[in-house]
Amino acid sequence: LFNIPLTAHFLGGAAIGDSAQTGVIDPYHRVYNYPTLFVTDGAAISANLGVNPSLSIAAQAERAASLWPNKGQDDARPAQGEPYRRIE
């Protein structure tokens, strides 16, 4: 349309960052200052991948969900604002 490239895959808007000053969500997909709100859709993908992003979105959502504690379990994720660490 009018020689302007476009994509149907809208991505970004909720950047992953080390703090609320550098991103919208932390590396565990929790929204800064809203600890019970998570972003697990295309908004967490920082750039157009050049291909259909469905699998990338699904992988990020599955990872985020796998880190949520089950009812009655302790939360192994560090508090927001603490450095990232790998959780096994």
Domain ranges of the chain: 9-67
How far CA 44 is from CA of 14, 47, 57, in Å, comes to 5, 9, 8
> pTM of the entire structure?
0.81
Residue 15, C-beta contacts closer than 8 angstroms, at least 6 positions apart: 22, 23, 24, 25, 46
From 2, 9, 31, 70, the catalytic residue: 9
Residue 29 is a catalytic residue = no
d(CA 48, CA 2): 21
pLDDT (tens, 9 = 90+) of the chain, 88 residues, equals: 577 766 566 788 899 999 999 999 999 999 999 988 999 999 999 888 788 889 999 999 999 999 999 999 999 999 998 999 998 7
